[in-house]
Amino acid sequence: MICITKGVAELVATADKKIFAMSPEQVETYLATAPQGVLLVDIRDIREIKREGKIPGSFHIPRGMLEFWIDPASQYYKPQFENAEELILYCNKGARSALATQTLMEMGVTNIAHMTGGFTRWTEEGREVNDS
């Protein structure tokens, strides 16, 4: 059996202390009034998006490719980041986006937040969703 000394819950709790978080309500309000350059990033698995839809205007990046797609030196770099000045990440419930936000901060990204409660909370609160 593999032995771990720090579980996922502890990793997420540590990340939560270091990152900026926004509620779905705050994200919705901010996106409605934010200047150009704010990129809402959905890091869920493609199967989740096909099954549940996504937040209108969001850009999908599979979690496993995030660091590669954002790095201009990577062969996988995506042009969507050329005009991005701020990022807001979300996943299904908020754990993956918290960890991903921390990782991007370690890469030097400063204008970044994650959405607490993720897509699940967004939909539970009755916010708009697009089909995949």
| Predicted confidence band of residue 131 (pLDDT cuts 50, 70, 90) | confident
Taking every pair of Cα atoms in the chain, the longest distance, rounded to a whole number of angstroms, is 51
- Per residue in 32-48, pLDDT (tens digit) is 998 789 999 999 999 99
- The answer to the question of residue 90 being in a domain is yes
- The answer to the question of residue 12 being in a domain is yes
- Domain enclosing residue 26, as ranges: 8-124
The pLDDT score that the predictor gives to residue 132 is: 67
Q: Are 42 and 88 a contacting pair, CB within 8 Å?
A: no
- The answer to the question of residue 132 being in a domain is no
Whether the pTM exceeds 0.85: the reply is yes
- Per residue in 49-98, pLDDT (tens digit) is 999 999 999 999 999 999 999 999 999 999 999 999 999 999 999 999 99
Give how many domains the chain has, as a whole number: 1
